[in-house]
Chains A and B, each alone.
Chain A
Amino acid sequence: AQSVTQPDIHITVSEGASLELRCNYSYGATPYLFWYVQSPGQGLQLLLKYFSGDTLVQGIKGFEAEFKRSQSSFNLRKPSVHWSDAAEYFCAVGAGGTSYGKLTFGQGTILTVHP
């Protein structure tokens, strides 16, 4: 069974500082990997996804993530955080084949941004 671990429940950074959110996954085959952001009381917005190819993936809002198969990781990074980035971030792994689109989410990481 697939699983996702986000080791950091809560991260606080200063505005302008760099950010890295960790994500480790467990999956038997080549995974489909996603990062979503959720503002309080809102739905999910897709930041970026990895299906295949280049292991460094660029997303919206200046985010990027790197797929490292050897470490089973898909960490999210941003070089300079803005106050509007404060939200909860979810890493997710998806299955292929007939289960395509079905996601397993990590526990989420709450990001607080100090001015």
Chain B
Amino acid sequence: GAVVSQHPSRVICKSGTSVKIECRSLDFQATTMFWYRQFPKQSLMLMATSNEGSKATYEQGVEKDKFLINHASLTLSTLTVTSAHPEDSSFYICSARVWQSNTEAFFGQGTRLTVV
């Protein structure tokens, strides 16, 4: 089956620093990837849609300048949390849609971000 790898699985950073999270499709090409955020004891909320070679589309209420998304190749999308603050602490998870396929999007393992 299609595998999506997300790295790192856990990261702790100091307030004010930036953190980059990678989402890779290991055995398929993904023209579109999705980034979700899950606060403790809450559901997953879509943050943005990442399209290879173009700008990401952000959901309402998500700050573009704070959550930088880059999708430079068909197998890699990155989410950079800039100037992180404790309220950015959350579980971030990506999914990747198989190019030209009618199957579901496949999820990565998620990244637990803790900002101290």
Q: Are B97 and A43 in contact (CB under 8 A)?
A: no
The reply on A16 being an interface residue by CB < 8 A is no
| A49→B104 CA distance, assembly (Å) | 8
A28-51 contacts to B (CB < 8 Å): 32, 34, 36, 41-44, 46, 49, 51
B75-116 contacts to A (CB < 8 Å): 93, 95-97, 102, 104-105, 107-110, 112
| A106→B46 CA distance, assembly (Å) | 12
Chain B residues with CB below 8 A from A108, complex form: 42-43
Interface footprint category on B: 20 to 34
| A88→B114 CA distance, assembly (Å) | 22
**Could you tell me which B residues sit within 8 Å of A by CB distance?**
6, 32, 34, 42-46, 49, 93, 95-97, 102, 104-105, 107-110, 112
Chain A residues with CB below 8 A from B45, complex form: 105
| A107→B42 CA distance, assembly (Å) | 7
Which of A17-25, A77-85, A95-103 binds B? A95-103
Interface size on A, residues (CB 8 A): 22
Chain B residues with CB below 8 A from A74, complex form: none
